[in-house]
Amino acid sequence: MGSGEENSLFETRKDKARHIRRLYAVSLSVAICFVWAFRLTHIPAKGEAGKWAWLGLFVAEVWGGIYWIFYQALRWNMVYRTTFPNRLTPRYESRFPGVDIFVFTADAVVEPPMMVINTVLSVMAYDYPAEKLSVYLSDDGGSDVTFYALLQASSFAKHWIPFCKRFKVEPRSPAAYFNTVASTKSEDHNYVKHLATIHKLYEEMKRRVEEATKLGVPSEARSKHKGFSQWDSYSSPRDHDTILQILMHKKESEGSKDVDGCTLPTLVYMAREKRPHYHTNFKAGAINALLRVSSTISNGKIILFLDCDMYSTHSKSVKDALCFFMDEDKGQEIAYVQFPQCFHNIGKNDLYANAISDIVQVELHGFDGFGGPLFIGTCCYLRRDALWWKKFSREYKNDWNDQNENEVTEVNLHELEEESKALANCSYEKNTLWGKKIGSIYGCLVEDVITGLQMHAHGWKSVYYNPSISAFSGVAPTSLLHTLVQLKRWGEGHMQLTLSKFRPKWYGDQKINICLLLGYWHHNFFAITSLSVLYYSIIPSLYILKGVSLFPKISSLWCIPFICVTVGEIAYSLIEGLSMGGSIQGWWNGTRMWLYVKTSSFLFSLIDGILGFFGHPNSSYSLTSKVIDDDVAQRYKKEVMEFGTSSPYFTVLATLALLNLFCLLLTLKDLVLQKGTFAAEKMTLQVLLCGVLVVINIPLYQAIFVRKDKGRMPTSVSIKSTAVAFTACVFFKLFN
């Protein structure tokens, strides 16, 4: 996308391995076609055992092959970006646009206030003109404790921001920084002195916030700050007036200066109005409320969306984003710049595959090669104009000289607060285009993806920037259930998108590249693939018990395409995983999680998506808890999978694992006792498949039969799954 000229603010490089990837894709496509040919030419005759199972495998393999094409489309034209902020500053420093940063939190219990304010402080300390920086905290939980924590952070920021700038601190989240410097020493006595002082101030703030979290906001604090009076009419997180407080503002003469007398960024707390009879529209509703409120307070041309657990790890990332928006050649067509989500608590072998390396390091680069990545709702800089749903046209030009950003703030702060509150009322959007054609789109659990898709449909492009120094870092789930629930929500959201009017399609103006559509389809059909994987995980293993072969003989030439597809995919995924800095154990863990997610999370996503389509919605927006129990944390560090809770997800996984184990054991028993007519040559591939499934599930068997800790499989789940799996095997062997 870059102009390639010496004065360009960014450049674009094509994937050096693209020709190898394309050769692999074409070669494996040929092998997949031969697999289909085998199925069609060897259909069992009428009355022959296994005919319907055979046809079922054919359908599963056809869908798997088609879906694999969507998967490969994202590897066909990957691109990588490099920015040149050293060219940006001298050229545009006097015309830098206002940047509004939206930080979102929704529950003070699962998203602790200390975590929230560390994220807020990390972006307040950006290496950017403070008078052009505004930070908004959207608290959908309406927690007075979170507000109290933000008050404490606003006072601490007066010391923290000068410290960061004076000593060029990175990262600028206090908690992350103090963890980093805990084991380092410095001979700079001035730095050591200031570090001790600032660390003491932080620990005092942390103590006050944590005490308030446990005991409630101190009465002394309530009486000192007028903002707490807004909770007088508060009934519950789902029933309260709009609460809005401008804690710092560049037009305020005293309270918005740091200890060095320098201006601090604008800081605003907002809890939009909630009423039981009004739908909140989840995060999308919070986004739209903040869009309106921020337009009256700061009206920054660029907006950063950030979840409360994704703190900034690089203070210059805002300038990296501006390199794209302010590029003279291509900048005017860019709607958003998506940064990757990174996590600081992922172990060496990534037990739950939370790093989503294939998405972050491969697929989003592939999206970028065809017009732009998905909008993933966090770690993303957006152009305000694009969110107002202005359609892109060649006549559109960047205008960084617009003075409206300064004009809107020249009012009394109290009046500004009262004016802004009305924009966050429940009834404001009634009979308007908000959520339909303005702001974040409503009606789906993946409202961020829909919003990005609509921007692409309006002619805008987007950019994926994956810098060598990560720009943001967060907290990944530390238990299997949390990971599965989160992925179920993503899968269901994409299923809703597939069945909605917003689904990727051939738009009339044809502004979306066909390969970009294939990439969207790859994500939207997550849930549907669960049926193929589920079928492959059950039927071949059961038919071993009857000695019915569903695959070619090991000596047949038809065995070659099956081996090519299997070995090719294993080798490719392993090489790709290792090239991204992973380990062999990490790749194996990822393979296990691929199976678990497909057969549980995406299965439930599919069911709920279909129920919702037929008017029986069963979906809800659930937050992933960021609070970690000590014993769970210890097992996570030791890379021991966490079960420990009765859940339908675990019932499904345990039943499938035990079914494959029983099938394999019963088959081996017959072989040892030489019972039945087991033809090794024709059953080899089938037994190998069952064996691989058993090996993958070893941690599950340990949780059921061996482990004694609290993270073992609950006894009720073990008994239920064992009974179902054993009954299915016996019934199939004796009566089918």
Give catalytic residue positions.
140, 448
Six-digit token string for 709: 């800790």
Helix axes 189-215, 174-181, angle to 10 degrees: 130
* DSSP state, residue 238: T
Beta bridge partners of 101: 135, 304
The type of residue at 357 is S
Which stretches of 227-351 are assigned E, i.e. beta strand? 243-248, 266-271, 302-307, 311-312, 334-338
Q: How many whole angstroms from its chain centre is CA 135?
A: 22
Looking only at Cα atoms, what is the longest distance across the chain?
Answer: 91
Q: Are 373 and 424 in contact (CB under 8 A)?
A: no
CA-nearest of 561, 527, 512 to 445 is 527
Task: Tell me the C-alpha distance between 28 and 38, whole Å.
Answer: 15
How is the chain split among helix, strand and coil, in percent rounded to 5?
55, 10, 35
Which stretches of 446-538 are assigned E, i.e. beta strand? 461-464, 472-473
* DSSP state, residue 229: G
Answer yes or no: is 140 a known binding residue: yes
Helix (H, G, I), strand (E, B) or coil at 273: coil
Task: Tell me the C-alpha distance between 80 and 438, whole Å.
Answer: 31
Six-digit token string for 263: 């201006």
Which residues have C-beta within 8 Å of that of residue 557, sequence separation ≥ 6? none
Answer yes or no: is 111 a known binding residue: yes
Token pair 């009339």 is found at 508
Class of residue 231 by CB neighbours under 10 A (exposed 0-12, middle 13-18, buried 19+): middle
Task: Tell me the C-alpha distance between 726 and 607, whole Å.
Answer: 25
Residue list, annotated binding site for Mn(2+): 283, 307
Known binding-site residue numbers for UDP-alpha-D-glucose: 111, 140
